[in-house]
């Protein structure tokens, strides 16, 4: 029998999970335990010394979380993954493996506002610097490369603007600079875009959004593509040099093409501590089983709503890459042929005040700071998620003051359109 390659929907249901060896339970059990017994002293020492695979303590790993990790790794086409407490935790853990004080990253300006804050303020206190570049101008990434550059960070589909990033072009810049490309694939999910196929070395997610998909659990994940050679120079000592934490083990030499995921676990998660609750892992896993079905419906609804808004007399502009007239439509056709996602922005002819009125008149859309829920959501980014930016930076990140962001759910699209219609005319 030769190997068969299962499809995406099969992996979404099965990857990483098998009937529980002890009880035969078919759904993945919630291993709600802090710790795991050792067989004997040698087993304990082997686990602590990274000589054996196994469970020690839930801050470092947990069997429920492991199923989630393997599943997302399989969906993204990576070698391994590490689940953590939130999308933001995933970013901190990734950069802690790559950066020393004085090092730099290059990040796209079009990012989730929380990530812009994290990079600008929190990272400054670690001595990590950010150079900003413009995803619509690939040369701006090249110009930003310095001898201190250690990584490039982009979003596949940017929040809030819904614009599509030319991942392959930026991957080429990263390759030339000899640094890994990190892609936040939260808004696309691997169902729409698989960044590793386009040259990403590391993929991160806020599982809180479409992957979990039901607005009930925070989580984050780091996927190792297994593509980057960490030992080709001495830029990444966490992976290439003997680790004093583990009596001199070199992680890439020992773990090969999943060494980055191991570093994130045994250096990052172990020492920084943002572990994911097994209960949240279970909720997110259950969500992932229906990811393909939900994403199809999210995208179908989003396109219908965007088309409705684009034809409405009170609407000034709709930024949805799935519309043929959108400036990102060509990139959407290339990178996300199944759909351009379900988060996008639009602006009203009567400006900021009309946007505020619209939000308060909506009856079905929930006004809150999240995306990727089964429910449709609305927010005004300039006064909330992106409020800490100055006006110029707001415009550059796709959150101009007159812009309203929608995250389209999986309700009936006719009801969503009717709600927007009544709110626009109220």
Partner 1 sequence: MNHDAYDDNYIRAILNSVKSIAMVGASPVNVRPSYFAFKYLAQRGYDMIPVNPGHVGKSLLGKPFVAQLADIDRPIDMIDIFRNSSHIMPVVDEALKLSPLPKVIWMQLGARDDAAAEKAEAAGVKVVMNRCPKIEYGRLSSEISWMGVNSRTLSSKRAPIPTQGMRLSLNRMSVGGGETAASDRAAKNKSEP
Where does this chain bind ligand PLP (CB under 6 A)?
86-88, 112, 114-115, 155, 159, 184, 186-187, 206, 208-209, 218, 220, 371
In the bound state, the residue with its beta carbon closest to ligand PLP is 87
- The binder of 35, among partner 1, ligand PLP, none, by C-beta within 5 to 8 A per type, is none
Exactly one of 70, 136, 241, 300 binds partner 1 (CB under 8 A); that residue is: 70
Nearest to 98 by CA among 228, 237, 255: 237
- Decide if residue 154 touches partner 1 (CB under 8 A): no
114 is in the binding site of which of ligand PLP, partner 1, none (Cβ under 5 to 8 A by kind)? ligand PLP
Residue 220: helix, strand or coil by DSSP? Answer: strand
| HSE value, Cβ hemisphere, 13 Å, CA-based, for 51 | 9
How far apart are the C-alpha atoms of 401 and 411, rounded to whole Å? 28
Among residues 7, 17, 5, 56, which one has the least CA distance to residue 284? 17
Binding partner at 155 among ligand PLP, partner 1, none, C-beta below 5 to 8 Å by kind: ligand PLP
Q: Which is nearer to partner 1, 10 or 32 (CB)?
A: 10
Q: Measured from the CB of residue 189, what is the shortest distance to ligand PLP in angstroms?
A: 11
Residue among 88, 109, 150, 265 that touches partner 1 (CB under 8 A): 265
The entry of partner 1, ligand PLP, none near residue 184 (CB within 5 to 8 angstroms by kind) is ligand PLP
Cα(181)–Cα(171) distance, rounded to whole angstroms? 6
24 touching partner 1, by CB under 8 A: yes
Q: Hey, which residues does 224 pair with through a beta bridge?
A: 80, 202
Closest CB to partner 1 among residues 53, 311: 53
Alpha-carbon distance 209 to 196, whole Å?
20
Q: Which of 134, 142, 197, 289 binds partner 1 (CB under 8 A)?
A: 197
CB closer to partner 1 out of 279 and 350: 279
Closest CB 35 distance from ligand PLP, rounded Å = 26
Place of tokens 């925070």: 218
Assess 4 for contact with partner 1 (CB under 8 A): yes
Our finding on whether 55 is near partner 1 (CB under 8 A) is yes
- 278 Cβ partners below 8 Å, 6+ apart? 30, 31, 32, 33, 58, 62, 63, 64, 65
* Residues between 200 and 259 that touch partner 1 (CB under 8 A): 200, 225-228, 242, 246-249, 253-258
From partner 1, ligand PLP, none, which one binds at residue 208 (CB under 5 to 8 Å depending on kind)?
ligand PLP
Distance CA 156, CA 335 (A): 9
Nearest approach in angstroms of CB 112 to ligand PLP is 4
Find the shortest distance in angstroms from Cβ 228 to partner 1. 8
- Strand stretches in 302-348, DSSP E: 315-319, 343-348
Should residue 52 be labelled a site residue for partner 1 when binding is judged by CB under 8 A? yes
CA gyration radius for the chain? 22
Contacts of 396 (CB under 8 A, 6+ apart): 109, 110, 134
DSSP states of 243-271 as a string? BGGGTTB-HHHHHGGGHHHHHIIIIIIHH
For residue 335 the two structure tokens come to 């990178």
Measure the CA–CA gap between 151 and 133, rounded to whole angstroms. 13
**Strand partners for 131:** 106
The nearer residue to ligand PLP, 166 or 184, going by C-beta atoms, is: 184
Where do contacts with partner 1 occur on this chain (CB under 8 A)?
1-6, 8, 10-11, 14-16, 18-22, 24, 39-40, 43, 46, 49-55, 61, 63, 65-67, 69-70, 73-74, 77-83, 175, 194, 196-197, 199-200, 225-228, 242, 246-249, 253-258, 261-262, 265
């Amino acid at each position: 029998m030769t190997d068969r390659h299962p499809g995406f929907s099969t992996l979404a249901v099965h990857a990483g999970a098998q009937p529980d060896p002890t009880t035969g339970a078919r759904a993945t059990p919630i291993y709600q335990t802090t710790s795991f017994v050792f067989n004997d002293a040698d087993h304990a020492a082997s686990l602590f010394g990274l000589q054996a695979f196994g469970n020690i303590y839930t801050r470092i790993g947990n069997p429920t979380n492991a199923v989630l990790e393997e599943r997302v790794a399989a969906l993204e086409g990576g070698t391994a993954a590490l689940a953590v407490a939130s999308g933001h935790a995933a970013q901190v853990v990734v950069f802690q493996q790559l950066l020393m004080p004085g090092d730099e990253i290059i990040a796209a300006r079009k990012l989730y506002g929380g990530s812009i804050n994290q990079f600008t303020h929190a990272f400054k206190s670690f001595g990590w610097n950010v150079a900003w570049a413009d995803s619509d101008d690939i040369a701006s990434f090249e110009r930003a490369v310095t001898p201190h550059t250690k990584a490039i960070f982009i979003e596949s589909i940017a929040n809030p603007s819904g614009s599509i990033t030319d991942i392959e072009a930026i991957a080429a810049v990263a390759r030339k600079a000899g640094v890994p490309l990190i892609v936040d694939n939260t808004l696309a999910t691997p169902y729409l875009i698989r960044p590793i196929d386009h040259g990403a070395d590391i993929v991160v997610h806020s599982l809180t959004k479409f992957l979990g998909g039901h607005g009930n659990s925070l989580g984050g994940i780091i996927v190792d593509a297994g593509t980057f050679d960490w030992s080709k120079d001495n830029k990444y000592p966490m992976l290439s040099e003997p680790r004093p934490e583990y009596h001199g083990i070199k992680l890439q030499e020992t773990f090969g093409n999943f060494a980055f995921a191991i570093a994130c676990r045994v250096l990052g998660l172990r020492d920084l501590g943002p572990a994911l609750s097994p209960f949240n892992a279970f909720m997110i896993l259950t969500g992932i089983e229906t990811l393909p079905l939900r994403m199809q419906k999210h995208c179908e609804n989003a396109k219908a709503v965007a088309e409705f808004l684009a034809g409405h007399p009170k609407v000034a502009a709709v930024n949805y890459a799935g519309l043929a007239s959108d400036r990102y439509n060509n990139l959407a056709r290339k990178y996300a042929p199944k759909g351009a996602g379900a988060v996008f922005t639009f602006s009203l002819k009567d400006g900021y005040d009309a946007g505020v009125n619209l939000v308060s008149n909506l009856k079905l859309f929930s006004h809150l700071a999240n995306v990727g829920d089964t429910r449709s959501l609305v927010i005004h980014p300039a006064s909330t998620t992106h409020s800490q930016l100055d006006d110029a930076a707001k415009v550059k990140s796709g959150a101009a003051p007159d812009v309203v962001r929608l995250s389209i759910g999986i309700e009936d699209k006719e009801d969503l359109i009717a709600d927007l219609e009544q709110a626009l005319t109220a």
